[in-house]
Amino acid sequence: EVQLVESGGGLVQPGRSLRLSCTASGFTFGDYAMTWVRQAPGKGLEWVGIIRSKAYGGTTDYAASVKGRFTISRDDSKSIAYLQMNSLKTEDTAVYYCTRHSSGIAASTEDYWGQGTLVTVSS
Amino acid sequence: DIQMTQSPSSLSASVGDRVTITCRASQSISSYLNWYQQKAGKAPKLVIYAAYSLQSGAPSRFTGSGSGTDFTLTISSLQPEDFATYYCQQSYSTPLTFGGGTKVEIK
Protein backbone atom coordinates (compact mmCIF):
# COMPACT_ATOMS: atom_id res chain seq x y z
CA GLU A 1 0.00 0.00 0.00
CA VAL A 2 1.34 3.39 -0.99
CA GLN A 3 1.69 5.73 1.97
CA LEU A 4 2.99 9.27 2.21
CA VAL A 5 3.40 10.88 5.62
CA GLU A 6 4.31 14.55 5.99
CA SER A 7 5.90 15.96 9.10
CA GLY A 8 7.62 19.10 10.31
CA GLY A 9 4.79 21.59 10.19
CA GLY A 10 4.04 24.07 12.94
CA LEU A 11 4.01 27.71 13.93
CA VAL A 12 6.92 29.83 12.69
CA GLN A 13 7.61 33.55 12.66
CA PRO A 14 7.84 35.52 9.42
CA GLY A 15 11.33 35.49 7.96
CA ARG A 16 12.27 32.22 9.61
CA SER A 17 12.81 28.78 8.08
CA LEU A 18 11.14 25.41 8.33
CA ARG A 19 11.81 22.02 6.75
CA LEU A 20 9.04 19.59 5.92
CA SER A 21 9.60 15.89 5.35
CA CYS A 22 7.57 13.39 3.37
CA THR A 23 8.26 9.77 4.23
CA ALA A 24 7.14 7.31 1.57
CA SER A 25 6.45 3.60 1.68
CA GLY A 26 4.80 0.93 -0.43
CA PHE A 27 6.55 1.74 -3.70
CA THR A 28 10.03 2.16 -5.17
CA PHE A 29 10.57 5.77 -4.15
CA GLY A 30 13.53 6.39 -6.44
CA ASP A 31 11.47 5.62 -9.54
CA TYR A 32 9.06 8.53 -9.04
CA ALA A 33 9.00 12.28 -9.09
CA MET A 34 7.57 13.87 -5.97
CA THR A 35 5.65 17.11 -5.71
CA TRP A 36 4.50 19.49 -3.01
CA VAL A 37 1.08 21.12 -3.18
CA ARG A 38 -0.30 23.57 -0.63
CA GLN A 39 -3.72 24.86 0.36
CA ALA A 40 -4.21 28.08 2.28
CA PRO A 41 -7.12 28.06 4.77
CA GLY A 42 -10.40 28.07 2.88
CA LYS A 43 -8.65 28.35 -0.48
CA GLY A 44 -7.89 26.12 -3.45
CA LEU A 45 -4.90 23.99 -4.30
CA GLU A 46 -1.59 25.56 -5.30
CA TRP A 47 1.25 23.57 -6.83
CA VAL A 48 4.52 24.38 -5.05
CA GLY A 49 7.14 22.38 -6.92
CA ILE A 50 8.47 19.07 -8.12
CA ILE A 51 11.62 17.00 -7.89
CA ARG A 52 12.12 14.45 -10.61
CA SER A 53 13.66 11.05 -10.19
CA LYS A 54 17.39 10.50 -10.64
CA ALA A 55 16.59 8.86 -13.99
CA TYR A 56 15.40 12.29 -15.12
CA GLY A 57 18.30 14.12 -13.56
CA GLY A 58 16.67 14.81 -10.20
CA THR A 59 15.79 18.27 -11.50
CA THR A 60 13.42 20.64 -9.76
CA ASP A 61 10.83 23.21 -10.79
CA TYR A 62 9.00 25.69 -8.57
CA ALA A 63 6.01 27.97 -8.59
CA ALA A 64 6.93 31.61 -9.04
CA SER A 65 5.52 32.41 -5.59
CA VAL A 66 8.18 30.28 -3.85
CA LYS A 67 11.08 30.25 -6.30
CA GLY A 68 14.30 31.33 -4.61
CA ARG A 69 12.88 30.73 -1.13
CA PHE A 70 11.84 27.06 -1.18
CA THR A 71 14.00 24.07 -2.11
CA ILE A 72 12.88 20.52 -2.72
CA SER A 73 15.32 17.66 -2.23
CA ARG A 74 15.17 13.92 -1.85
CA ASP A 75 17.00 11.08 -0.15
CA ASP A 76 16.22 7.94 -2.11
CA SER A 77 18.07 5.74 0.40
CA LYS A 78 15.56 6.80 3.08
CA SER A 79 12.52 7.27 0.79
CA ILE A 80 12.07 10.84 1.99
CA ALA A 81 11.35 14.04 0.12
CA TYR A 82 12.02 17.38 1.75
CA LEU A 83 10.68 20.90 1.38
CA GLN A 84 13.05 23.48 2.81
CA MET A 85 11.20 26.77 3.27
CA ASN A 86 13.22 29.92 3.92
CA SER A 87 12.23 33.56 4.35
CA LEU A 88 8.71 32.51 5.22
CA LYS A 89 5.86 34.96 4.73
CA THR A 90 2.42 35.08 6.28
CA GLU A 91 0.96 34.15 2.89
CA ASP A 92 2.83 30.82 3.06
CA THR A 93 0.39 29.72 5.77
CA ALA A 94 -1.22 26.56 4.42
CA VAL A 95 -1.60 22.83 4.66
CA TYR A 96 1.27 21.32 2.70
CA TYR A 97 0.73 18.03 0.91
CA CYS A 98 3.33 15.84 -0.68
CA THR A 99 2.26 13.73 -3.62
CA ARG A 100 3.65 10.96 -5.74
CA HIS A 101 3.88 12.12 -9.33
CA SER A 102 3.32 9.41 -11.92
CA SER A 103 4.10 9.84 -15.59
CA GLY A 104 3.28 7.61 -18.52
CA ILE A 105 2.40 7.85 -22.16
CA ALA A 106 0.27 10.99 -22.54
CA ALA A 107 -0.41 11.04 -18.79
CA SER A 108 1.09 12.78 -15.79
CA THR A 109 -0.64 13.00 -12.45
CA GLU A 110 -0.45 13.21 -8.66
CA ASP A 111 -1.80 9.75 -7.95
CA TYR A 112 -1.18 9.52 -4.20
CA TRP A 113 -1.33 12.25 -1.55
CA GLY A 114 -0.21 12.48 2.03
CA GLN A 115 -2.54 13.67 4.79
CA GLY A 116 -0.89 17.10 4.86
CA THR A 117 0.90 19.12 7.49
CA LEU A 118 -0.13 22.61 8.61
CA VAL A 119 2.36 25.44 8.46
CA THR A 120 1.34 28.67 10.17
CA VAL A 121 3.49 31.74 9.63
CA SER A 122 2.67 34.36 12.23
CA SER A 123 4.36 36.62 14.72
CA ASP B 1 1.95 29.83 -17.15
CA ILE B 2 -1.18 27.93 -18.16
CA GLN B 3 -4.32 29.22 -16.46
CA MET B 4 -7.11 26.81 -15.59
CA THR B 5 -10.66 28.13 -15.26
CA GLN B 6 -13.36 25.98 -13.71
CA SER B 7 -17.09 26.57 -13.79
CA PRO B 8 -19.26 26.78 -11.92
CA SER B 9 -17.48 27.62 -8.68
CA SER B 10 -20.30 25.93 -6.80
CA LEU B 11 -23.50 24.07 -7.51
CA SER B 12 -26.37 22.54 -5.59
CA ALA B 13 -27.74 19.20 -6.67
CA SER B 14 -29.80 16.31 -5.40
CA VAL B 15 -28.92 12.65 -5.02
CA GLY B 16 -29.45 11.00 -8.38
CA ASP B 17 -28.83 14.15 -10.43
CA ARG B 18 -26.46 14.30 -13.36
CA VAL B 19 -23.75 16.86 -12.66
CA THR B 20 -21.32 18.45 -15.11
CA ILE B 21 -18.26 20.55 -14.25
CA THR B 22 -16.19 22.27 -16.90
CA CYS B 23 -12.54 23.27 -17.01
CA ARG B 24 -10.87 25.46 -19.61
CA ALA B 25 -7.14 25.85 -20.19
CA SER B 26 -5.62 29.10 -21.43
CA GLN B 27 -3.76 27.15 -24.13
CA SER B 28 -3.87 23.65 -25.55
CA ILE B 29 -2.80 20.97 -23.08
CA SER B 30 -3.65 17.96 -25.25
CA SER B 31 -5.11 15.41 -22.80
CA TYR B 32 -2.90 16.32 -19.84
CA LEU B 33 -5.85 17.04 -17.59
CA ASN B 34 -6.61 15.48 -14.22
CA TRP B 35 -9.58 15.72 -11.85
CA TYR B 36 -9.35 15.48 -8.07
CA GLN B 37 -12.02 15.17 -5.40
CA GLN B 38 -11.49 16.75 -2.00
CA LYS B 39 -13.77 16.25 0.97
CA ALA B 40 -13.71 18.64 3.89
CA GLY B 41 -10.61 18.25 6.02
CA LYS B 42 -9.15 15.54 3.81
CA ALA B 43 -6.44 15.30 1.20
CA PRO B 44 -7.48 15.37 -2.46
CA LYS B 45 -7.97 12.09 -4.28
CA LEU B 46 -7.39 11.44 -7.95
CA VAL B 47 -10.58 10.58 -9.83
CA ILE B 48 -9.79 11.02 -13.53
CA TYR B 49 -6.39 11.28 -15.23
CA ALA B 50 -5.36 11.98 -18.80
CA ALA B 51 -8.73 13.66 -19.42
CA TYR B 52 -10.88 10.51 -19.50
CA SER B 53 -9.11 7.63 -17.72
CA LEU B 54 -10.80 6.48 -14.52
CA GLN B 55 -8.42 6.09 -11.58
CA SER B 56 -8.41 2.62 -10.05
CA GLY B 57 -11.03 2.44 -7.32
CA ALA B 58 -13.00 5.45 -8.53
CA PRO B 59 -16.68 4.75 -9.25
CA SER B 60 -17.72 4.34 -12.88
CA ARG B 61 -20.33 7.10 -12.52
CA PHE B 62 -17.43 9.55 -12.97
CA THR B 63 -16.61 10.34 -16.60
CA GLY B 64 -14.08 12.73 -18.06
CA SER B 65 -14.02 14.11 -21.56
CA GLY B 66 -12.34 16.74 -23.71
CA SER B 67 -8.99 17.59 -25.19
CA GLY B 68 -7.08 20.68 -26.18
CA THR B 69 -8.51 23.48 -24.05
CA ASP B 70 -11.98 22.35 -22.98
CA PHE B 71 -12.71 19.54 -20.55
CA THR B 72 -15.67 18.15 -18.63
CA LEU B 73 -16.17 16.03 -15.54
CA THR B 74 -19.58 14.36 -15.37
CA ILE B 75 -21.11 12.49 -12.46
CA SER B 76 -23.91 10.45 -13.98
CA SER B 77 -25.96 9.91 -10.83
CA LEU B 78 -24.84 11.90 -7.81
CA GLN B 79 -24.40 9.88 -4.64
CA PRO B 80 -24.20 11.16 -1.03
CA GLU B 81 -20.45 10.44 -0.92
CA ASP B 82 -19.86 12.63 -3.99
CA PHE B 83 -20.57 15.89 -2.21
CA ALA B 84 -17.13 17.49 -2.22
CA THR B 85 -14.98 20.02 -4.01
CA TYR B 86 -13.55 19.06 -7.38
CA TYR B 87 -10.38 20.46 -8.92
CA CYS B 88 -8.97 20.15 -12.41
CA GLN B 89 -5.20 20.26 -12.95
CA GLN B 90 -3.13 20.57 -16.08
CA SER B 91 0.00 18.42 -16.17
CA TYR B 92 1.18 19.53 -19.61
CA SER B 93 3.91 21.86 -18.39
CA THR B 94 5.28 23.28 -15.18
CA PRO B 95 4.05 25.03 -13.16
CA LEU B 96 1.34 22.37 -12.90
CA THR B 97 -1.66 24.58 -12.27
CA PHE B 98 -5.03 23.82 -10.71
CA GLY B 99 -8.44 25.25 -11.40
CA GLY B 100 -10.16 27.22 -8.68
CA GLY B 101 -12.41 24.34 -7.68
CA THR B 102 -16.11 23.48 -7.87
CA LYS B 103 -17.96 22.82 -4.65
CA VAL B 104 -20.81 20.34 -5.08
CA GLU B 105 -23.39 20.83 -2.34
CA ILE B 106 -26.59 19.11 -1.36
CA LYS B 107 -29.77 20.79 -2.56
B67-77 confidence digits (pLDDT tens): 999 999 999 99
Query: Residue A4: beta bridge partners?
Result: A24
Give the 3-state secondary structure of chain B.
CCCEEEECCEEEECCCCCEEEEEEECCCCCCCEEEEEECCCCCCEEEEECCCEECCCCCCCEEEEEECCEEEEEECCCCHHHCCEEEEEECCCCCCCECCCEEEEEC
Segment A30-57 shows an average pLDDT of 97
Is the predicted pLDDT of residue B107 greater than 90, yes or no? no
Is the predicted pLDDT of residue A46 greater than 90, yes or no? yes
Residue A9 sits at the chain B interface (C-beta within 8 Å): no
H/E segment holding residue A4: strand A3-7
* Alpha-carbon span A67 to B106, nearest angstrom: 40
Residue A47 sits at the chain B interface (C-beta within 8 Å): yes
* Alpha-carbon span A31 to A34, nearest angstrom: 10
* Partner-chain contact B30 A106, CB within 8 Å: yes
Query: Residue A105: beta bridge partners?
Result: none
Partner residue opposite A63 with nearest CB, options B38, B95, B101:
B95
* Partner-chain contact A106 B44, CB within 8 Å: no
What does the pLDDT read at residue A104?
79
Is the predicted pLDDT of residue B44 greater than 80, yes or no? yes
Q: Name the region of A10 (left: φ>0; alpha: ψ -120 to 50; beta: rest).
A: left
Is residue A31 classed as helix, strand or coil in its secondary structure? helix
Chain B: nearest CA to A103, how far in angstroms? 10
Is the predicted pLDDT of residue A43 greater than 80, yes or no? yes
Q: Please, which pLDDT band fits residue B18 given cuts at 50, 70 and 90? A: very high
Chain B: nearest CA to A12, how far in angstroms? 22
Segment A75-92 shows an average pLDDT of 98
Is the predicted pLDDT of residue A69 greater than 80, yes or no? yes
The half-sphere exposure of A31 on its side-chain side, counting CA atoms within 13 A, is 7
Segment B54-65 shows an average pLDDT of 96
Percent of chain A surpassing pLDDT 70: 100
Residue A25 sits at the chain B interface (C-beta within 8 Å): no
Q: Is the preceding omega at residue B8 within 30 degrees of 0, hence cis?
A: yes
What does the pLDDT read at residue A47?
98
Question: Would you tell me how many other CB atoms lie within 10 Å of the CB of residue B19?
Answer: 18
* Alpha-carbon span B13 to B5, nearest angstrom: 21
* Partner-chain contact B46 A45, CB within 8 Å: no
